[in-house]
Amino acid sequence: MATRSTINFSINKKRICSVYQQYDGYIEGGVGDDIKEFIKTGTFCNGIPSNKIEDKTLFNGFECFIAQYIAKNKLGTGGLYMSFHDISQAYTYNIDFDTETNSILVKAYHYKRKVEEYTERIKV
């Protein structure tokens, strides 16, 4: 059986979009670790620089980050789906970009415990 998850992307707590991932929804060894690693592999910028930054993915704003996350994880038919409504899965991840602090807050919840399982603020 798959461990499903929902990932909600928001800016200043206003949801932009959500995706439903059909498998590997766990925090450790699954979607949770994937989210953290994906954020850390990139550099956020405002406009595309003329010089290349070695070994770094560029995120031209948070919306670009969302698009690249989806592109990286949508590997063909199935697996990852756009979702435009609230759906409850085994894990829910909220990824919020705060424009005042220029940081991303990642929170993870398990459907049975209804409490934060994981929280991390990442400065971008």
State the Cα–Cα distance between residues 64 and 60, nearest whole angstrom: 5
Burial class (CB in 10 A: 0-12, 13-18, 19+), 112: exposed
The CB density around residue 25, as the number of other CB atoms within 10 Å, is 24
Residue 45, pLDDT score: 86
Tens-place pLDDT, residues 37-55: 999 888 888 888 777 666 6
Average pLDDT along the chain, 124 residues, taken 10 residues at a time: 90 95 91 92 84 78 95 93 81 94 90 70 76
pTM (two decimals): 0.88
Tokens encoding 82: 């756009």
